[in-house]
Structure 1
């Protein structure tokens, strides 16, 4: 039976204590270079899996052009959405809406697209501490597609960074472009304007195959003044996590290893191949039925793939013990 959760009392949720000594919510961000790769499905599946493991989770929908977390979760759209936060009408916590799934809530994204909005960097800077202050163990931010500056800044700030691709060539190409943009954005704040401009010029020459020698981000940065390359070292502890969604064949499932190798060779960037997610017709069928596939079919291989991914990130010792 369809239920409208908008008017439920949010304060009755089993959130962590709102005392000042609570640990900040951990921020997970899902991004993609291209739309249509299943990013929202991945975000919702990660959230549901964490909630099944006993953690309180809030999914924040920040897809400007196609907010539909509520649809995937089987919830009617709310008139109260994140626009009210950016307009200063409500706090982010005020906008948290419960779902039919225990421990899982969400913040409605912009679905009134007749009056579009864009983010400024100041707004994103103010949003990040508000996300960490939410009464939850984990906050998953579902970004729109593409390497917008606001997307890159949130991606950079995340405790876990998920980059979702599909096996399609257009998606793979856009994923590499997102990684390039993320590297450049991350280096920008620690470089002088002249040094950053010179780096972009060198990158264009590299793309056009006009450099006299093979290009390496790391060696280039070491040779230049005005650029700080500690960014690469910091990503060792918090790497980009690649998820390949909608895998139909064995070579699709192994695609992430090849992309990881490419990133290491051409960008001097170590990324983590977090998971390959199988294609399953039950996904779109569950959306039509307004019940997430991980609840409609909780014992499938698909559910197991997300369970393994989440446990590897939050409790790898326990997972190794089971294996």
Structure 2
């Protein structure tokens, strides 16, 4: 996978997921993709939520005849054969897998083949809808990206799952780097919150790693500083919900030593479900609405502050 990452650096890859399902990540991805496309960026949406693919519906499409299933099951050898134009200029999609009972858990070789062949796609930005949870496949898609983004609802279970995702992603990142078998086993043990060593946070893990191999402990500290996931709060109904993002950012820094960037929030608004019901993308159906302005702000933050200038209507 490291080699895949090197090859894909000419493209910008955003992976958007969450600790739990039903949090609006697909809607955010679809509309962020349209926002980028309206800036004359060539964008590919990839529905890698292999257990519950629905990204196509957020941009107003029916399920295409060819999907990721055809690629994973080698009914086609080239990823380009499952890339579908959306009807929106500059925006294409690879629709999610269907009719595969174990689609949510592709073999390692299938995942590697998918990531490798994404490099052959002609796109400026690839947006991956990676699904929810902390399976290895989801974590690997998240770590593979230039920007790994978590969507969270301002409610206790979603917040708890988001923290669990961040820790799991960091542990997965470190485990893939170290070669020492004892350290790999230590990381595996750390994932169990009831482990007998008292490892509850990445700080605790660093302490134990240093006792086994000081150089590896220093590497772990370096990786912790480099690991910078991003966060979006969805369905914010007031100032208290908006503050959840800042609170999570501060908690990650204080207790995990991990820099979490708060990209912004989407307020709760009826226009969102109305756009879903009308089968029209939010940014096209309700331009200028609060949620659309929020999506544009989030995209601008991911672009490093680039101004969004586009008067194009589709």
TM-score range with shorter-chain normalisation? 0.7 to 0.9
SS at match of 1:189: helix
1:85·1:92 contact (CA, 8 Å) conserved in 2?
yes
Cα distance, 1:234 vs structure 2: 5.1
Runs of 5+ consecutive residues of structure 2 not aligned to the other structure: 1-6, 309-314
Gap runs ≥5 in structure 1: 1-20
Match of 1:241 in 2: 230
Distance apart, 1:237 and its partner CA = 5.7
RMSD: 2.8
Quote how far apart the aligned CAs of 1:314 are: 1.7
Corresponding residue for residue 275 of structure 1: 264
Inter-CA distance 238–217: structure 2 relative to 1 (3 Å threshold): closer
Count of residues in Structure 1 that have an aligned counterpart in Structure 2: 298
1:1-323 to 2 correspondences below 5 Å: 24-90=10-76, 91-112=78-99, 115-117=101-103, 118-191=105-178, 192-201=180-189, 204=192, 215-225=203-213, 227=216, 230=219, 233=222, 236=225, 239-316=228-305
CA spacing shift, 1:220–1:87, aligned 2, 3 Å: same
Displacement, 1:229? 5.2
Q: Distance in 1 between matches of 2:292 and 2:181?
A: 47
In structure 1, C-alpha distance between the alignment counterparts of 2:193 and 2:24, rounded to whole Å: 34
Query: Which whole-Å deviations, capped at 9, do the CAs of 1:171-210 have from their partners, x for residues lacking one?
Result: 1111111111111111112222212223444564777895
Query: For residues 227 and 200 of structure 2, what CA distance do their matches in structure 1 show?
Result: 33
In structure 2, do the counterparts of structure 1 residues 23 and 166 end up closer, same or farther at CA, with 3 Å as the change threshold?
Answer: closer
Residues 140 and 184 of structure 1: CA distance in aligned 2, closer, same or farther (over 3 Å):
same
**8 Å Cα contact 2:14-2:147 kept in structure 1:** yes
Is contact 1:77-1:108 (8 Å) kept? yes
Q: Alignment partner of 2:266: what SS?
A: strand
Secondary structure of the corresponding residue to residue 316 of structure 1: coil
Is 1:277–1:302's contact at 8 Å kept on the other side of the alignment?
A: yes
In 1: Cα distance, 2:91 partner to 2:219 partner? 36
Verify the 8 A CA contact 1:253 1:276 in the aligned structure 2. Answer: yes
TM-score w.r.t. structure 1 length? 0.83
Aligned mates of 1:222, 1:275 — CA distance in 2: 36
> Greater CA deviation, 53-62 or 104-113?
104-113
Counterpart contact for 1:216–1:268, Cα < 8 Å: no
Q: 1: CA distance between counterparts of 2:138 and 2:83? A: 21
Question: Once the two structures are superposed, what CA deviation does each residue of 1:246-266 show, in whole Å capped at 9, x if it has no partner?
Answer: 111111111111111111122
Distance 1:121-1:41 versus aligned 2 partners, 3 A rule: same
Please report how far the alpha carbon of residue 135 of structure 1 lies from its aligned counterpart in structure 2 after TM superposition: 1.0
